[in-house]
Amino acid sequence: MNAENHDVVIVGGGVAGLSALWQLRHRDVVLLEADERLGGRLMSLPRGDYWMNLGAHLFPGAGSHVERMTSGLGLETIGIPGAKFALAFAGKVYANKRVETYPFTLPLSLSERVALAGVGLRAVGAVKAWQDTQREQPGWPARRFGGYLANRSFRDLIGRPPARVDGIFRAAGHRAASELEDQSAATGGALFGGVWAGRKSLLSYNLDGGSSRLGEAMAAELGHLVRYGATVTRVREEDGRVLVTLRENGEERTLRARQVIMATPAYISHRVVEGLPGDVAGVLADVRYGPFVSAGVITTERGPMPYDRIYALTATDQSFDMMFNHANPLRTGVRRPGGSLMVYAGGDGARRMLDLEDSGVESRYADDLASVFPQLRGNLGEIRIQRWEHGIPYRRPGFSFEPMLRYSRRTDVGVHFCGDYFADLGNMELAAASGFRAAVRAGAAVGGRP
Protein backbone atom coordinates (compact mmCIF):
# COMPACT_ATOMS: atom_id res chain seq x y z
CA MET A 1 0.00 0.00 0.00
CA ASN A 2 1.32 3.44 -0.92
CA ALA A 3 0.30 5.15 2.32
CA GLU A 4 2.05 7.89 4.30
CA ASN A 5 4.11 6.31 7.10
CA HIS A 6 5.00 7.64 10.56
CA ASP A 7 6.55 6.20 13.67
CA VAL A 8 3.81 7.66 15.86
CA VAL A 9 0.41 9.16 15.05
CA ILE A 10 -1.36 11.08 17.84
CA VAL A 11 -5.12 11.51 17.46
CA GLY A 12 -6.55 14.57 19.27
CA GLY A 13 -4.93 17.89 20.18
CA GLY A 14 -6.39 18.53 23.65
CA VAL A 15 -4.02 18.73 26.59
CA ALA A 16 -3.51 14.92 26.64
CA GLY A 17 -2.48 14.82 22.96
CA LEU A 18 -0.33 17.95 23.36
CA SER A 19 1.49 16.37 26.29
CA ALA A 20 2.22 13.30 24.14
CA LEU A 21 3.33 15.52 21.24
CA TRP A 22 5.63 17.53 23.51
CA GLN A 23 7.28 14.33 24.74
CA LEU A 24 7.74 12.95 21.21
CA ARG A 25 8.47 16.22 19.39
CA HIS A 26 11.92 15.09 18.20
CA ARG A 27 10.55 11.91 16.63
CA ASP A 28 8.77 11.09 13.38
CA VAL A 29 5.35 12.05 14.75
CA VAL A 30 2.16 13.68 13.45
CA LEU A 31 -0.84 14.91 15.44
CA LEU A 32 -4.26 14.75 13.78
CA GLU A 33 -6.82 17.23 15.12
CA ALA A 34 -10.43 17.40 13.89
CA ASP A 35 -10.81 21.05 14.86
CA GLU A 36 -9.00 24.08 13.41
CA ARG A 37 -7.32 24.83 16.76
CA LEU A 38 -5.35 23.01 19.46
CA GLY A 39 -6.35 22.88 23.13
CA GLY A 40 -9.71 21.05 23.17
CA ARG A 41 -11.53 21.95 26.36
CA LEU A 42 -8.95 24.64 27.23
CA MET A 43 -10.67 27.63 25.67
CA SER A 44 -10.45 31.40 26.13
CA LEU A 45 -10.73 34.52 24.00
CA PRO A 46 -8.60 37.67 24.40
CA ARG A 47 -10.57 40.76 25.44
CA GLY A 48 -8.47 43.89 25.98
CA ASP A 49 -6.75 43.84 29.40
CA TYR A 50 -8.53 40.57 30.20
CA TRP A 51 -9.59 37.35 28.57
CA MET A 52 -12.94 35.67 28.42
CA ASN A 53 -12.81 32.13 29.72
CA LEU A 54 -15.13 29.39 28.44
CA GLY A 55 -13.53 26.08 29.50
CA ALA A 56 -10.78 24.91 31.87
CA HIS A 57 -8.95 27.68 33.71
CA LEU A 58 -7.26 26.36 36.89
CA PHE A 59 -3.73 25.27 36.04
CA PRO A 60 -1.29 23.20 38.11
CA GLY A 61 2.03 24.57 39.36
CA ALA A 62 5.73 23.72 39.25
CA GLY A 63 6.71 20.11 38.67
CA SER A 64 3.46 19.22 36.88
CA HIS A 65 3.14 17.81 33.37
CA VAL A 66 1.24 20.90 32.23
CA GLU A 67 3.92 23.21 33.65
CA ARG A 68 6.55 21.21 31.73
CA MET A 69 4.78 22.40 28.56
CA THR A 70 3.87 25.95 29.60
CA SER A 71 7.38 26.78 30.83
CA GLY A 72 8.95 25.07 27.81
CA LEU A 73 6.80 27.27 25.57
CA GLY A 74 7.70 30.44 27.49
CA LEU A 75 4.19 30.94 28.91
CA GLU A 76 3.58 32.47 32.35
CA THR A 77 1.23 31.18 35.00
CA ILE A 78 -0.10 33.63 37.58
CA GLY A 79 -1.10 32.95 41.18
CA ILE A 80 -4.70 33.44 42.27
CA PRO A 81 -4.96 35.57 45.40
CA GLY A 82 -8.77 35.50 45.72
CA ALA A 83 -11.05 33.33 47.87
CA LYS A 84 -11.61 29.93 46.23
CA PHE A 85 -14.69 28.74 48.13
CA ALA A 86 -16.98 31.71 48.49
CA LEU A 87 -20.67 30.88 48.78
CA ALA A 88 -23.84 32.65 47.65
CA PHE A 89 -26.42 31.43 50.14
CA ALA A 90 -29.85 32.73 51.17
CA GLY A 91 -29.44 36.09 49.45
CA LYS A 92 -25.93 36.90 50.72
CA VAL A 93 -22.34 36.22 49.71
CA TYR A 94 -19.91 34.66 52.20
CA ALA A 95 -16.19 34.50 51.47
CA ASN A 96 -14.85 32.59 54.46
CA LYS A 97 -11.12 31.92 54.35
CA ARG A 98 -11.53 28.48 55.91
CA VAL A 99 -14.25 26.22 54.56
CA GLU A 100 -14.73 24.48 57.94
CA THR A 101 -15.99 27.75 59.46
CA TYR A 102 -19.17 27.79 57.36
CA PRO A 103 -21.25 25.76 59.88
CA PHE A 104 -20.65 28.62 62.36
CA THR A 105 -21.19 31.62 60.10
CA LEU A 106 -24.04 30.78 57.71
CA PRO A 107 -27.57 31.85 58.77
CA LEU A 108 -28.76 28.33 59.67
CA SER A 109 -31.02 26.80 62.30
CA LEU A 110 -29.30 24.72 64.97
CA SER A 111 -30.27 21.44 63.30
CA GLU A 112 -29.03 22.70 59.91
CA ARG A 113 -25.77 23.82 61.53
CA VAL A 114 -25.21 20.40 63.07
CA ALA A 115 -26.11 18.70 59.76
CA LEU A 116 -23.67 20.90 57.79
CA ALA A 117 -20.85 20.10 60.23
CA GLY A 118 -21.70 16.36 60.07
CA VAL A 119 -21.87 16.19 56.27
CA GLY A 120 -18.69 18.27 56.07
CA LEU A 121 -16.88 15.76 58.29
CA ARG A 122 -18.07 12.83 56.19
CA ALA A 123 -16.92 14.61 53.04
CA VAL A 124 -13.52 15.31 54.64
CA GLY A 125 -13.31 11.57 55.44
CA ALA A 126 -13.97 10.74 51.78
CA VAL A 127 -11.32 13.23 50.68
CA LYS A 128 -8.70 11.77 53.04
CA ALA A 129 -9.51 8.19 52.03
CA TRP A 130 -9.45 9.13 48.35
CA GLN A 131 -6.09 10.90 48.78
CA ASP A 132 -4.67 7.71 50.33
CA THR A 133 -5.74 5.72 47.28
CA GLN A 134 -3.84 8.13 45.02
CA ARG A 135 -0.40 7.16 46.32
CA GLU A 136 1.82 5.32 43.85
CA GLN A 137 1.59 1.98 45.72
CA PRO A 138 -1.32 2.23 48.14
CA GLY A 139 -1.27 -0.28 51.00
CA TRP A 140 -4.18 -2.61 51.73
CA PRO A 141 -6.31 -0.21 53.85
CA ALA A 142 -6.19 2.38 51.07
CA ARG A 143 -6.98 -0.26 48.44
CA ARG A 144 -9.93 -1.45 50.51
CA PHE A 145 -11.15 2.13 50.93
CA GLY A 146 -10.61 2.65 47.21
CA GLY A 147 -13.04 -0.18 46.48
CA TYR A 148 -15.48 1.16 49.05
CA LEU A 149 -15.42 4.66 47.54
CA ALA A 150 -15.69 3.37 43.97
CA ASN A 151 -18.79 1.31 44.71
CA ARG A 152 -20.79 3.86 46.70
CA SER A 153 -22.37 7.07 45.49
CA PHE A 154 -21.32 10.32 47.08
CA ARG A 155 -24.99 10.65 48.09
CA ASP A 156 -24.78 7.32 50.02
CA LEU A 157 -21.79 8.69 51.84
CA ILE A 158 -23.22 12.05 52.91
CA GLY A 159 -26.84 10.94 53.41
CA ARG A 160 -29.78 13.35 53.13
CA PRO A 161 -29.23 16.50 55.17
CA PRO A 162 -31.91 19.25 55.43
CA ALA A 163 -32.78 20.85 52.08
CA ARG A 164 -30.78 24.08 52.42
CA VAL A 165 -27.65 22.20 53.52
CA ASP A 166 -28.14 19.67 50.76
CA GLY A 167 -28.39 22.56 48.28
CA ILE A 168 -24.83 23.63 49.10
CA PHE A 169 -23.44 20.15 48.38
CA ARG A 170 -25.57 19.70 45.27
CA ALA A 171 -24.32 22.97 43.77
CA ALA A 172 -20.70 22.13 44.68
CA GLY A 173 -21.13 18.58 43.33
CA HIS A 174 -22.17 20.01 39.96
CA ARG A 175 -18.51 20.92 39.49
CA ALA A 176 -18.24 17.24 38.57
CA ALA A 177 -21.00 17.86 35.95
CA SER A 178 -23.23 15.31 37.67
CA GLU A 179 -25.65 14.71 40.55
CA LEU A 180 -24.49 13.38 43.93
CA GLU A 181 -26.54 10.20 43.33
CA ASP A 182 -24.75 9.50 40.04
CA GLN A 183 -21.12 10.19 41.05
CA SER A 184 -19.07 7.69 43.05
CA ALA A 185 -17.75 8.65 46.48
CA ALA A 186 -14.28 8.52 44.87
CA THR A 187 -15.32 11.21 42.38
CA GLY A 188 -16.77 13.23 45.29
CA GLY A 189 -13.49 12.76 47.19
CA ALA A 190 -11.52 13.96 44.16
CA LEU A 191 -13.84 16.94 43.70
CA PHE A 192 -13.92 18.18 47.28
CA GLY A 193 -10.24 17.25 47.78
CA GLY A 194 -9.30 19.50 44.87
CA VAL A 195 -11.42 22.39 46.13
CA TRP A 196 -10.45 22.15 49.81
CA ALA A 197 -6.73 21.54 49.33
CA GLY A 198 -6.29 25.34 49.55
CA ARG A 199 -2.69 26.38 48.97
CA LYS A 200 -1.66 22.77 48.44
CA SER A 201 -4.21 22.39 45.65
CA LEU A 202 -2.81 21.00 42.45
CA LEU A 203 -4.79 23.50 40.42
CA SER A 204 -3.90 26.95 41.74
CA TYR A 205 -2.92 29.10 38.80
CA ASN A 206 -4.26 30.87 35.73
CA LEU A 207 -2.41 30.97 32.45
CA ASP A 208 -1.56 34.61 31.71
CA GLY A 209 -3.53 35.60 28.63
CA GLY A 210 -6.03 32.75 29.01
CA SER A 211 -6.02 28.97 28.71
CA SER A 212 -6.15 29.02 24.89
CA ARG A 213 -2.58 30.35 25.00
CA LEU A 214 -1.32 26.79 25.56
CA GLY A 215 -2.73 25.49 22.26
CA GLU A 216 -1.71 28.68 20.42
CA ALA A 217 1.87 28.56 21.68
CA MET A 218 2.09 24.85 20.89
CA ALA A 219 0.80 25.56 17.36
CA ALA A 220 3.48 28.24 16.91
CA GLU A 221 6.24 25.91 18.14
CA LEU A 222 5.20 22.53 16.74
CA GLY A 223 2.56 23.42 14.13
CA HIS A 224 4.64 21.64 11.45
CA LEU A 225 3.78 18.35 13.22
CA VAL A 226 0.02 19.05 13.33
CA ARG A 227 -2.74 18.47 10.75
CA TYR A 228 -5.92 20.48 11.41
CA GLY A 229 -9.38 19.59 10.13
CA ALA A 230 -8.26 15.93 10.16
CA THR A 231 -11.06 13.81 11.62
CA VAL A 232 -10.02 10.25 12.35
CA THR A 233 -12.77 7.75 11.59
CA ARG A 234 -11.07 4.37 11.90
CA VAL A 235 -8.00 2.89 13.61
CA ARG A 236 -7.00 -0.76 13.29
CA GLU A 237 -3.93 -2.95 13.64
CA GLU A 238 -2.93 -4.97 10.58
CA ASP A 239 0.29 -6.89 9.85
CA GLY A 240 2.26 -5.25 12.65
CA ARG A 241 1.26 -1.69 11.64
CA VAL A 242 -1.63 0.55 12.72
CA LEU A 243 -3.79 1.97 9.95
CA VAL A 244 -5.37 5.35 10.66
CA THR A 245 -8.19 6.45 8.38
CA LEU A 246 -9.13 10.12 8.39
CA ARG A 247 -11.26 12.66 6.58
CA GLU A 248 -9.35 15.75 5.54
CA ASN A 249 -10.49 18.48 3.12
CA GLY A 250 -13.46 16.32 2.13
CA GLU A 251 -11.25 13.37 1.22
CA GLU A 252 -10.63 10.09 2.95
CA ARG A 253 -7.05 8.90 3.36
CA THR A 254 -5.16 6.33 5.39
CA LEU A 255 -1.87 6.74 7.24
CA ARG A 256 0.31 3.89 8.49
CA ALA A 257 1.94 4.14 11.90
CA ARG A 258 4.10 1.93 14.06
CA GLN A 259 2.30 3.27 17.14
CA VAL A 260 -0.88 5.29 17.63
CA ILE A 261 -1.84 7.40 20.65
CA MET A 262 -5.58 7.94 20.98
CA ALA A 263 -5.97 11.23 22.86
CA THR A 264 -9.65 11.65 22.06
CA PRO A 265 -12.46 11.40 24.66
CA ALA A 266 -13.47 7.83 25.55
CA TYR A 267 -16.72 7.84 23.52
CA ILE A 268 -14.80 8.84 20.35
CA SER A 269 -11.98 6.33 20.93
CA HIS A 270 -14.63 3.64 21.43
CA ARG A 271 -16.24 4.52 18.10
CA VAL A 272 -12.99 4.71 16.14
CA VAL A 273 -10.65 1.95 17.37
CA GLU A 274 -11.41 -1.54 16.07
CA GLY A 275 -10.37 -4.95 17.38
CA LEU A 276 -10.05 -4.11 21.08
CA PRO A 277 -10.60 -6.80 23.71
CA GLY A 278 -14.28 -6.72 24.76
CA ASP A 279 -13.67 -5.53 28.33
CA VAL A 280 -11.49 -2.61 27.15
CA ALA A 281 -14.03 -1.55 24.51
CA GLY A 282 -16.69 -1.88 27.23
CA VAL A 283 -14.81 0.50 29.54
CA LEU A 284 -14.48 3.08 26.74
CA ALA A 285 -18.18 2.82 26.00
CA ASP A 286 -19.15 3.16 29.65
CA VAL A 287 -17.13 6.19 30.74
CA ARG A 288 -19.73 8.75 31.76
CA TYR A 289 -19.40 12.44 30.81
CA GLY A 290 -21.58 15.19 32.28
CA PRO A 291 -22.50 18.51 30.68
CA PHE A 292 -21.55 22.09 31.47
CA VAL A 293 -23.14 25.19 30.00
CA SER A 294 -20.69 28.00 30.57
CA ALA A 295 -20.74 31.71 29.84
CA GLY A 296 -17.89 34.17 29.55
CA VAL A 297 -19.03 37.58 30.80
CA ILE A 298 -17.20 40.86 30.24
CA THR A 299 -18.14 43.50 32.79
CA THR A 300 -17.90 47.26 32.36
CA GLU A 301 -17.74 48.71 35.90
CA ARG A 302 -15.32 51.58 36.59
CA GLY A 303 -14.86 51.09 40.32
CA PRO A 304 -14.46 48.29 42.88
CA MET A 305 -16.92 45.41 42.93
CA PRO A 306 -17.94 43.24 45.90
CA TYR A 307 -16.35 40.14 44.31
CA ASP A 308 -12.93 41.71 43.69
CA ARG A 309 -11.34 39.50 46.37
CA ILE A 310 -13.16 36.36 45.27
CA TYR A 311 -11.93 33.95 42.58
CA ALA A 312 -14.44 31.08 42.86
CA LEU A 313 -17.98 31.19 44.22
CA THR A 314 -20.49 28.35 44.61
CA ALA A 315 -24.05 29.57 44.10
CA THR A 316 -27.06 27.84 45.64
CA ASP A 317 -30.55 28.28 44.12
CA GLN A 318 -29.33 29.98 40.94
CA SER A 319 -29.31 28.94 37.27
CA PHE A 320 -25.50 28.66 37.51
CA ASP A 321 -23.61 26.64 40.11
CA MET A 322 -20.24 28.37 39.92
CA MET A 323 -18.91 31.84 39.23
CA PHE A 324 -15.22 32.56 38.60
CA ASN A 325 -13.64 35.99 38.59
CA HIS A 326 -10.89 35.85 36.00
CA ALA A 327 -9.86 39.44 36.67
CA ASN A 328 -8.96 38.55 40.28
CA PRO A 329 -5.38 37.41 39.53
CA LEU A 330 -4.85 40.66 37.56
CA ARG A 331 -6.07 43.01 40.30
CA THR A 332 -2.66 44.18 41.39
CA GLY A 333 -1.23 47.69 41.02
CA VAL A 334 -3.34 50.16 39.07
CA ARG A 335 -6.97 49.10 38.79
CA ARG A 336 -8.11 48.57 35.24
CA PRO A 337 -11.70 49.30 34.30
CA GLY A 338 -14.13 46.43 33.77
CA GLY A 339 -13.51 42.77 34.38
CA SER A 340 -14.12 39.21 33.24
CA LEU A 341 -16.32 36.58 34.90
CA MET A 342 -17.28 33.05 33.98
CA VAL A 343 -20.35 31.20 35.21
CA TYR A 344 -21.44 27.65 34.56
CA ALA A 345 -24.09 25.13 35.44
CA GLY A 346 -23.18 21.44 35.59
CA GLY A 347 -25.17 18.19 35.68
CA ASP A 348 -28.98 18.30 35.41
CA GLY A 349 -29.16 22.11 35.44
CA ALA A 350 -26.83 22.23 32.43
CA ARG A 351 -28.71 19.40 30.71
CA ARG A 352 -31.93 21.46 30.89
CA MET A 353 -30.17 24.37 29.17
CA LEU A 354 -28.33 22.46 26.43
CA ASP A 355 -31.20 22.96 23.98
CA LEU A 356 -32.05 26.55 24.88
CA GLU A 357 -31.19 29.38 22.49
CA ASP A 358 -28.13 31.39 23.55
CA SER A 359 -30.40 34.33 24.39
CA GLY A 360 -32.39 32.15 26.82
CA VAL A 361 -29.27 31.00 28.69
CA GLU A 362 -27.84 34.51 28.61
CA SER A 363 -30.91 36.13 30.20
CA ARG A 364 -31.05 33.51 32.99
CA TYR A 365 -27.41 33.92 33.82
CA ALA A 366 -27.58 37.73 33.59
CA ASP A 367 -30.65 37.91 35.88
CA ASP A 368 -29.10 35.60 38.46
CA LEU A 369 -25.73 37.36 38.37
CA ALA A 370 -27.52 40.61 39.10
CA SER A 371 -29.50 39.00 41.92
CA VAL A 372 -26.31 37.72 43.60
CA PHE A 373 -24.40 40.98 42.91
CA PRO A 374 -26.89 43.86 42.30
CA GLN A 375 -23.87 46.08 41.46
CA LEU A 376 -23.65 44.16 38.15
CA ARG A 377 -26.94 45.68 36.95
CA GLY A 378 -26.06 47.88 33.97
CA ASN A 379 -22.46 46.63 34.06
CA LEU A 380 -22.77 43.48 31.97
CA GLY A 381 -21.08 43.73 28.58
CA GLU A 382 -20.43 40.94 26.09
CA ILE A 383 -21.69 37.48 27.10
CA ARG A 384 -20.66 34.37 25.18
CA ILE A 385 -22.32 30.98 25.77
CA GLN A 386 -20.42 27.72 25.36
CA ARG A 387 -22.15 24.34 25.59
CA TRP A 388 -20.04 21.38 26.66
CA GLU A 389 -22.29 18.37 26.21
CA HIS A 390 -19.37 16.17 27.28
CA GLY A 391 -17.88 18.60 29.78
CA ILE A 392 -16.05 16.34 32.16
CA PRO A 393 -15.77 12.58 32.81
CA TYR A 394 -16.63 11.24 36.25
CA ARG A 395 -17.03 7.79 37.76
CA ARG A 396 -20.43 6.23 38.39
CA PRO A 397 -20.72 4.04 41.51
CA GLY A 398 -19.62 0.48 40.69
CA PHE A 399 -17.73 1.43 37.51
CA SER A 400 -14.37 -0.31 37.12
CA PHE A 401 -11.59 1.17 34.98
CA GLU A 402 -9.33 -1.80 35.74
CA PRO A 403 -9.48 -3.45 32.25
CA MET A 404 -8.12 -0.24 30.67
CA LEU A 405 -5.37 0.04 33.29
CA ARG A 406 -4.36 -3.59 32.61
CA TYR A 407 -4.40 -2.92 28.85
CA SER A 408 -2.22 0.17 29.38
CA ARG A 409 0.48 -1.98 30.98
CA ARG A 410 0.77 -4.23 27.91
CA THR A 411 3.86 -3.84 25.72
CA ASP A 412 2.54 -5.86 22.77
CA VAL A 413 -0.09 -3.36 21.55
CA GLY A 414 0.16 -0.68 18.85
CA VAL A 415 -2.60 1.62 20.14
CA HIS A 416 -2.28 3.53 23.42
CA PHE A 417 -5.02 5.49 25.13
CA CYS A 418 -4.96 8.69 27.15
CA GLY A 419 -7.24 11.53 28.21
CA ASP A 420 -8.81 12.98 31.31
CA TYR A 421 -11.11 9.95 31.61
CA PHE A 422 -8.18 8.06 33.16
CA ALA A 423 -9.03 9.89 36.42
CA ASP A 424 -11.88 9.62 38.96
CA LEU A 425 -12.68 13.18 37.91
CA GLY A 426 -11.15 14.66 34.78
CA ASN A 427 -8.74 17.58 34.94
CA MET A 428 -6.01 18.92 32.69
CA GLU A 429 -3.06 17.68 34.75
CA LEU A 430 -4.34 14.11 34.86
CA ALA A 431 -5.03 14.29 31.11
CA ALA A 432 -1.47 15.55 30.50
CA ALA A 433 -0.01 12.85 32.78
CA SER A 434 -1.85 10.12 30.86
CA GLY A 435 -0.62 11.63 27.56
CA PHE A 436 2.94 11.61 28.84
CA ARG A 437 2.68 7.95 29.90
CA ALA A 438 1.20 6.93 26.53
CA ALA A 439 4.04 8.78 24.76
CA VAL A 440 6.67 7.00 26.86
CA ARG A 441 5.14 3.61 25.96
CA ALA A 442 4.84 4.46 22.25
CA GLY A 443 8.37 5.94 22.23
CA ALA A 444 9.82 2.82 23.84
CA ALA A 445 8.02 0.61 21.31
CA VAL A 446 9.49 2.44 18.28
CA GLY A 447 12.93 2.56 19.93
CA GLY A 448 15.73 5.03 19.20
CA ARG A 449 16.01 8.40 20.86
CA PRO A 450 13.93 8.75 24.09
Q: Using the minimum distance from each CB to ligand FAD, give the nearer residue, 294 or 299.
A: 294
- DSSP-derived letter for residue 198 is G
The window from 117-125, 249-257, 377-385, 423-431 that contacts ligand FAD (CB under 6 A) reads 423-431
Q: Which of 305, 327, 385, 392 binds ligand FAD (CB under 6 A)?
A: 392
Q: Does 157 bind ligand FAD (CB under 6 A)?
A: no
The answer to whether the beta carbons of residues 117 and 103 sit under 8 Å apart is yes
Residue type, 26: H
Residue type, 198: G
d(CA 72, CA 64): 12
Q: Using the minimum distance from each CB to ligand FAD, give the nearer residue, 164 or 213.
A: 213
Sign of CA dihedral 247, 253, 255, 260: positive
Q: Using the minimum distance from each CB to ligand FAD, give the nearer residue, 314 or 379.
A: 314
Q: Which residues contact 265 (CB under 8 A, 6 or more apart)?
A: 12, 289, 390, 393, 419, 421
Query: For residues 318-357, which are near ligand FAD according to CB under 6 A?
Result: 344
Q: Which of 10, 20, 29, 32 binds ligand FAD (CB under 6 A)?
A: 32
Q: Using the minimum distance from each CB to ligand FAD, give the nearer residue, 340 or 379.
A: 340
Q: Does 383 bind ligand FAD (CB under 6 A)?
A: no
Shortest spacing between CB 53 and ligand FAD, in angstroms: 8
Q: Does 165 bind ligand FAD (CB under 6 A)?
A: no
Query: For residues 260-299, which are near ligand FAD according to CB under 6 A?
Result: 263-265, 268, 272, 292, 294
Q: Does 42 bind ligand FAD (CB under 6 A)?
A: yes
What 147-152 contacts at long range (C-beta under 8 Å, 24+ apart), as own/partner pairs, is: 148/185, 149/184, 149/185, 149/186, 149/189, 150/184, 150/185, 150/186, 150/395, 150/397, 150/398, 150/399, 150/400, 151/184, 151/397, 151/398, 152/184, 152/185, 152/397
The window from 6-14, 140-148, 304-312, 400-408 that contacts ligand FAD (CB under 6 A) reads 6-14
The answer to whether the beta carbons of residues 316 and 94 sit under 8 Å apart is no
Residues forming the site for ligand FAD (CB under 6 A)? 11-17, 32-35, 40-42, 55-58, 203, 231-232, 263-265, 268, 272, 292, 294, 344, 388, 391-392, 419-420, 426-429, 431
